A and B are shown apart, each in its own frame.
Chain A
Amino acid sequence: MRRIALILGLMLLAVPAAHAVQPDEILPNPALEQRARAISGGLRCLVCQNQSIDDSDAPLARDLRLLVRERLVAGDDDKAVVDFVVARYGDFVLLRPPFNAHTLLLWGAPFVILLLAVAFLWRRARQRMVETAAPNALSAEEKARLAALLGPEDKSSG
């Protein structure tokens, strides 16, 4: 399903069937190129569906890849490059959403859910322990039935 979707996405963009990083984009300096690839992997192709610019064929992704390399060649460090791109396109461009007031719930969710589940289980286990302390305790109704079955002489012990 997703692949169908992705394909359709690619199709609608009507891009030429090329893929991602083109040979002419590659920087001569392998260390810089490697940093460029790493940075590109975390930046979203703005016109694609959850694809990084490193994976995307879209012309805009190519422009961004070139931009990243330009900044690297100009001597920016990785953070400066990302900040530069974010300043232009906003947080939307980051595939790893920043941690701030608006994403607190997003980042916190897995851990909060896990904590809640553990707390719930712990409470349940304790309840169970209290219940099982008197394992065969009968309900009032059951006691009454038992008493009726056993006859009047057992009423006192019921």
Chain B
Amino acid sequence: MIVEIGHYALALALGVSVIQAVVPFWGVFRQDRTLASVGSSAALVSFGLVALSFAALVASYVRSDFSVANVVANSHSAQPLIYKFTSVWGNHEGSMLLWVLILTLFGALVALSRHSLPPRLRAGALAAQGLVAVAFLAFTLLTSNPFQRLAPVPAEGQDLNPILQDLGLAIHPPLLYIGYVGFSITYAFAVAALIDGRIDAMWARAVRPWTLLAWTFLTLGIAMGSYWAYYELGWGGWWFWDPVENASFMPWLAGTALIHSTVVMEKRDALKVWTILLAILTFSLSLLGTFIVRSGVLTSVHSFATDPARGLFILFILIFFVGGSLALFAWRAPLLRQGGLFAPVSRESALVVNNVFLATACATVFVGTLYPLLLEMLTGDKISVGAPFYNATFVPVMVPLLLLLPIGQSLAWKRGDLLGAAQRNAMAFGLAVLAALALLFFMRGGPVMAPLAVGLGVFLVLGAGFDLGERIVTRASGWRAMLSRARGLPRSAWGTALAHAGIGLSIIGIAAQAWSSEAIAVLKPGERLTSGRYTIVLEGMSPRTGPNFRAEVARFQLFSGDRELTLVEASKRVYTARAMPTTEAGIRTDGLSQAYVSLGEAQDGGVAVRLYDKPLILLIWIGSLVMAFGGGLSLTDRRFRLAAPKRAAPVAAAQPAE
């Protein structure tokens, strides 16, 4: 019964979304306010229905209702509750339902947001978003229905893929989807602006919080996915330039560019046409990512489902939304009037440079991801595009961008002073060069590029810090004055500085991996293995039984030099339902570094063991968290409290200027 309610609610949501897509447009054309405002209620209802449908699927999973095909294929009655719950989106059908849930959630948020949106813009955006919802609801219902019943009802489920039975699955996909799908709002606003034929700083201000929100979650989602891969796959890799990974990275790069271009548009009314195009492209890349992951064209062995019908359906959706919006852009963009002028040396120009490099970096990833497919189609040649390609192309594009970042950040709007900006960063640059030189000196014989990269990271962190410091610290004022000045700085200024420092931290972490080390050996109890700063001694092995798996656990004493740190356990599990083995790495965090132990096959009376010393590796993800925190902080800036109730607005305005 619950299952049928879920199915029915999903079908009903499709109907409501059709209303949401059609009626507001009609209202805008007829200049009928009542019709135009139908979008808001439709968005809310549609979200309610999809949420009900999602809850029904969750209930089926939690109660292990094996009359539902999807539950049978991806769940097991002995699973811990948390994994029963996360199994919901650990498969194609369920993850599409999550996708649609988040899509309609964003629609509902737009409907609820008390931001003083021009009614025509809100109506247009909700309609455009409704159209996206129609496409994906139809896709889910027609090709990926999670509510299919099964007869006869099996006694037990096939269990979720063991590697997905991890807290990572609870966190990573929802974060990533909020990021992916969040860009649908900016897309919808861009389409609405094009239809309206008008766009101004108001548009930028309305769109910016949504962009920031999506970007923040996408950052978290990618970082989480990367950390999950790192600890789960058992060989310490954390980024692979895999097509599926690139699929999430491209919208991130475009979204980063979009955040920056909307700043220019909001403050200076410039870069309008480009910003609109970027908003369209960012969501198009999200759709492309969905296509890549869901169709399996690029990763035939990778996706949950390689059903050609699904691939074709998503391809059609992709062509419709990308092609349609680009055609609309070509038709309407010439109507948009260009705004504010700025000098070649100015904050605006710096942000244009930022966009040029980010767009190029994004295009590089795009070409690298799709080129093998195209080449094979056109010539039959099969080539691989892997990490060495991106190291040779993507990195050289990003380095100048990051080198210029602190300087651009300290240029003034309209007309800047390049020399002054360079001088303001001289101290940070000098310290960064010193750091790089010191590393070169102390790590003699090591890699050459890594110290330079660390220097770049240090430059970014210090540049961001000094930029803030300059605005807070002035001569002849006490700490009290500084404190109040610090508090008076807009939160977006803090957010910017944190996000930029976060990139710096991540780069230091990435660069430091050049000094990581690895040792491989067969160990018997009592034997030791040393890698870098760490040594392990195998204490013993013992079997253990989990709820739905059996494990062979190896215990190690871990030493850093002569200092005993702790006991580390690494294990190999076999999940009973699928008889599938996984490895669980033993990881011990030591400051910002990690010792990483993973088990291989038992052989010669011992067991194959790998030990890694991963110096400063946590900085990679700490940097990403700092970036995301910066994004979140900017989001709470007074200028655009997202969805703050209208009544609160005058109160906020009445606060004394700090």
When the two chains form the complex, which single residue of A3, A9, A44 contacts B229, counting CB atoms closer than 8 Å?
A3
For B512-539 the 0/1 string (1 means CB < 8 A from A) is 0000000011100000000000000000
When the two chains form the complex, which single residue of A5, A20, A106 contacts B371, counting CB atoms closer than 8 Å?
A106
Q: Is there an interface contact between A50 and B363, defined as CB atoms closer than 8 Å?
A: no
Q: Is there an interface contact between A109 and B520, defined as CB atoms closer than 8 Å?
A: no
When the two chains form the complex, which single residue of A96, A98, A110, A121 contacts B386, counting CB atoms closer than 8 Å?
A96
Q: Is there an interface contact between A2 and B233, defined as CB atoms closer than 8 Å?
A: no
Q: Is there an interface contact between A95 and B352, defined as CB atoms closer than 8 Å?
A: no
Say how far A122's CB is from chain B's closest CB, in angstroms: 10
Interface hit among B275-283, B300-308, B641-649: B300-308
In the bound complex, residues from chain A placing their C-beta under 8 Å from that of B241 are 50
In the bound complex, residues from chain B placing their C-beta under 8 Å from that of A114 are 356-357, 360, 397
Q: Does B225 contact A (CB under 8 A)?
A: yes
Say how far A64's CB is from chain B's closest CB, in angstroms: 14
Q: Is there an interface contact between B521 and A96, defined as CB atoms closer than 8 Å?
A: no
Q: Is there an interface contact between A50 and B242, defined as CB atoms closer than 8 Å?
A: yes
Say how far A100's CB is from chain B's closest CB, in angstroms: 10
Say how far A57's CB is from chain B's closest CB, in angstroms: 9
A26 to B610, CA, bound (A): 13
Q: Is there an interface contact between B388 and A96, defined as CB atoms closer than 8 Å?
A: yes
**In the complex, which residue of chain A has the Cβ closest to the Cβ of B598?**
A19
In the bound complex, residues from chain A placing their C-beta under 8 Å from that of B293 are 1, 5
Q: Does B465 contact A (CB under 8 A)?
A: no
Q: Does B496 contact A (CB under 8 A)?
A: no
Say how far A97's CB is from chain B's closest CB, in angstroms: 5
Q: How many residues of B contact A (CB 8 A)?
A: 76
When the two chains form the complex, which single residue of B229, B243, B384 contacts A97, counting CB atoms closer than 8 Å?
B384
In the bound complex, residues from chain B placing their C-beta under 8 Å from that of A20 are 235
In the bound complex, residues from chain A placing their C-beta under 8 Å from that of B608 are 18, 22-23
In the bound complex, residues from chain B placing their C-beta under 8 Å from that of A78 are none
In the bound complex, residues from chain B placing their C-beta under 8 Å from that of A102 are 375, 379, 381, 383
Contacts A2-B225, A5-B299, A23-B521 aside, 12 further interface pairs with beta carbons under 8 A come to A1-B172, A1-B176, A8-B301, A17-B581, A23-B603, A93-B384, A96-B389, A109-B363, A110-B364, A110-B393, A121-B352, A128-B341
Which residues of B come within 8 Å of A, CB atoms? 90, 161, 163-164, 168-169, 172-173, 176, 225-226, 228-229, 232-235, 237, 240-245, 247-248, 289, 293, 299, 301-304, 341, 344, 352, 356-357, 359-361, 363-364, 367-368, 371, 375, 379, 381-389, 392-394, 396-397, 520-522, 572, 580-583, 598, 600-601, 603, 608, 610
Closest 7 CB pairs of A and B: A95-B386, A96-B388, A2-B245, A5-B302, A2-B244, A3-B229, A17-B581
